[in-house]
Amino acid sequence: MSFDALPARHDWTRDEVEALFALPLSDLILRAQAALRAHHDPAHVQRSRLLNIKTGGCAENCGYCSQSAYFPTGLKASKLMDCEDVVAVAARAKAEGAERFCMGAAWRELKDRDLPAIAEMVKGVKALGLETCMTLGMLSQAQADALGEAGLDYYNHNLDTGPEYYPSVVSTRTYRERLDTIEYVRHAGVKVCCGGILGMGERHQDRADLIVELAKLRPHPESIPINQLVPIAGTPLSGAPPVDGLDFVRWIAVARIVFPEAYVRLAAGRDQMSQELQAMCLLAGANSIFVGDKLLTTPLPGEARDRALLNQIERG
């Protein structure tokens, strides 16, 4: 069969997305594989590495997050890391095979006073030959421009879920504010990393709506992290019902079909998945993972298990 590239669409409807999700599994995977192969090397899984450069004490009340000051999660807050230490971690990550280095801060928004330190980190990490990504909360246009001038490659800012369910997850900011920051990032010429979380108690249609909202972005985000909720004791969502494993695989396949050109990342939640389920997600079109021992505050499977998994997917 041929793997011709279909044009990216921005007008997906909830019904169309739900119809993709409801395809027989083999048809869904075939279409996802065709989309993957039209734009990407199916034998390469992109490796990103995360570092929490500022932990905890965050002024937002995202109901899933260990780092919100609103919830008793037991996490100790820390101040912004020194640039030197960040670059040292990035150098180790590069030596261990990471291609992109993503720096996250538990901030509601970036403060201008922190911009010089952040710009130094971008320059230092980039000088190692790594792609750079930052996720620092809301930005102004001027701040997004400054990050672009520092050479930042990607900015991560997730929509998390569909607009109807969003207010049940977080009330200290709006969906519109999320979209505004994404627009500033795009306008600054920085690539957009934007995705969401499954398993927060959302309805099936909220997941479809998330895909629809992401698809409206012009151009589509270059990177789409699909997170499975990592339940955090003390947060309002700690007891949310887990996502069915094969439903998760189906959503990955839907994301691959709707966003054929993007890196679709199997992001948070891998530590709760079997190797086989992770392999299915990669067969369903995910082509990126976070490697290393830790996401921001929660564990990853680690080097040995990841090597075994990626050997299965990538070996010739």
Q: Does 229 engage in binding with ligand SF4 (CB under 6 A)? A: no
Least distance (Å) from ligand SF4 to the CB of residue 158? 8
Residue 265 known to be catalytic: yes
The nearer residue to ligand SAM, 56 or 148, going by C-beta atoms, is 56
Catalytic one of 47, 49, 62, 250: 62
Catalytic one of 65, 83, 194, 281: 65
The separation between CA 242 and the C-alpha centre of its own chain, rounded to angstroms, equals 19
Query: Using CA atoms, how far apart are residues 122 and 127, in angstroms rounded to an integer?
Result: 8
Residue 102 known to be catalytic: yes
Residue with token string 């820390």? 78
- Exactly one of 34, 36, 65, 81 binds ligand SF4 (CB under 6 A); that residue is 65
Least distance (Å) from ligand DTB to the CB of residue 12? 21
Least distance (Å) from ligand SF4 to the CB of residue 65? 3
Residue 194 known to be catalytic: no
- Exactly one of 33, 55, 68, 278 binds ligand SF4 (CB under 6 A); that residue is 68
Helix (H, G, I), strand (E, B) or coil at 131: strand
Other CB atoms within a 10 A radius of the CB of residue 5 amount to: 12
Beta bridge partners, 196, equal 160, 226
Residue 58 known to be catalytic: yes
The nearer residue to ligand DTB, 46 or 66, going by C-beta atoms, is 66
DSSP collapsed to 3 states, 76-126: CCCCCCCHHHHHHHHHHHHHCCCCEEEEEECCCECCHHHHHHHHHHHHHHH
The nearer residue to ligand SAM, 137 or 260, going by C-beta atoms, is 137
With beta carbons less than 8 A apart as the criterion, state whether 154 and 190 touch: yes
Catalytic one of 49, 83, 100, 102: 102
Catalytic amino acids? 58, 62, 65, 102, 133, 193, 265
